[in-house]
Copies of this chain bind each other. A is one copy, B any other.
């Protein structure tokens, strides 16, 4: 017996010998697990189609207008399995469900026989960290030659935690420009230019692209299908692995282009966008989505990261990685020696939520009383999509509210000339936040202070009364010092997810009033005073 992971796995086959007395596994006997029973009350999948606002808070029964309770009871089955050691691939029923769901609704056009495989992860931060372990070599400044340093292409503004995960491995983040359709391919700062003009004395030419295609964080763009094809072609030519991080896959906003155009008095074409799937799934919600890079992946160069953080709850720490089987197999070994597996508790609870009593025949269901039907646990593909679409609808409405308020308040009449535009932004096509660029060069004190100094003063000013708004400075999403210093300071990210809808409305208003008040400041002393005030002061 050797001690390679594959041999351990091979050893497990003997567990299946009929009637074997298994004295080999270091598994505690299930009678020692102190949990006898776990029960949950979960939302009905159509909660957000029936409830007009997000007043329903967790731990509070959610009642509809007619008094009907908006939830289901579930007992978590199979406890002795899920509380035991499991395999690194994940709890088998959940894995099957997710594999099929990914194939049918996310990938759609399976580009190779049997399609990509999946492995359960502890969410996308874990997933990305595992992929980096698999595909990159660490590099240390001073110790290793700079020509050996590996790099990761990414959007010019990107997710903070992804940047942080790459840093301790000594990887170079290589930003690529972004426009309304996603990563720029051709032209200044575009993918093609960055790769063609690569200077190998500054590190190896990157072999990885980290991209957030839907509701890019922080910019809110959704890459069009046309653009995805162009990007894939370039990656194919330069042999680049695409890491597709898609936590907001389900949060795209079809109303955004129309409402944005309408708010700005610009004509809007209603013709069908080119970026839809070539064939219809029959579900308009799905057909309105842009395709995963996996659907184009004839080379097997795409690794997709999915998570339940934005669709169920971040506290799950549960997600899945989809890629060609050779990649998921390698990730299996990394999982085995790091997290071992995602928590069985959570896998069981999410499996039960998603699948419920799928096995019960529909005819049986019809025979049940109303009360029984109400407590029947019947999420499945269709209901899971219904839930996702319901969540999407609520976030879309939040996005629209915030953008409408920003739209109204983004001008100020300083003189009798045309009004000053304080900031510009696009209505996000997906995701959870609005990315605004401030026109600090139009501030009355632009000659007295540097742009970054004004940006910092405005951020501090926002914390103070009566504004009392915390927004994230663009520097936090700048993958390099250069971008942070040159342009990052101009931006703020405003997230419309964390507060209630009512708070969202008030806070967005306080923000635009705050920007206007900041623009009304015209003495140097006043700006200096802002930096001295303790924001915690009442």
Q: Which residues of A contact B (CB under 8 A)?
A: 1-5, 7-8, 11, 14-43, 47, 54-62, 71, 77, 79-80, 82-86, 122-123, 125-126, 129, 138, 160-161, 163-165, 168, 217, 309-310, 312-318, 333-334, 336-346, 348-349, 353, 387, 391, 394, 432-433, 463, 468-473, 475-476, 478, 484, 493-500, 503, 506-508, 510-511, 535-536, 538
Contacts and interface: CB of A to CB of B under 8 A. Distances in A.
A517 to B, nearest CB: 15
6 contacts: A21-B510, A22-B498, A36-B58, A59-B77, A123-B340, A343-B343
Query: Which 6 A/B pairs are nearest by Cβ-Cβ distance?
Result: A315-B344, A21-B507, A1-B475, A83-B313, A37-B41, A83-B315
Given A23-B495, A164-B336, A338-B129, A315 B28 contact: no
A57 to B, nearest CB: 6
A511 B83 CA distance: 28
Contacts of A309: 28, 85
A312 B34 contact: yes
B316 A27 contact: no
Contacts of A80: 57-59
B315 A23 contact: no
Given A21-B470, A337-B165, A310 B28 contact: yes
A316 B338 CA distance: 15
A15 B85 CA distance: 38
A84 B314 contact: yes
Given A22-B470, A58-B33, A125 B339 contact: yes
A16 to B, nearest CB: 8
Given A3-B478, A469-B20, A58 B38 contact: no
B20 A468 contact: yes
B315 A85 contact: yes
Given A316-B343, A343-B318, A23 B125 contact: no
Given A122-B340, A340-B317, A22 B499 contact: yes
A386 B471 CA distance: 49
Nearest to A7: B476
Each complex incorporates copies of this chain amounting to: 2
Contacts of A83: 58, 313-316
A382 to B, nearest CB: 15
A217 B343 CA distance: 23
A129 B336 CA distance: 10
A41 B31 contact: no
Given A17-B536, A353-B34, A538-B18, A432 B26 contact: yes
Given A58-B30, A58-B79, A83-B314, A122 B35 contact: no
A507 B19 CA distance: 10
A36 B56 CA distance: 10
B32 A394 contact: yes
A192 B47 CA distance: 67
A415 to B, nearest CB: 31
Contact of A24 (B28, B125, B316, B471): B471
Given A18-B536, A316-B345, A345-B349, 11 more contacts: A4-B164, A8-B164, A11-B476, A21-B511, A22-B507, A29-B497, A31-B55, A36-B61, A84-B313, A165-B337, A315-B344
Contacts of A7: 476
Nearest to A122: B339
Most buried by B among A35, A310, A349, A506: A35
A59 B34 contact: no
B317 A339 contact: yes
Contacts of A138: 138
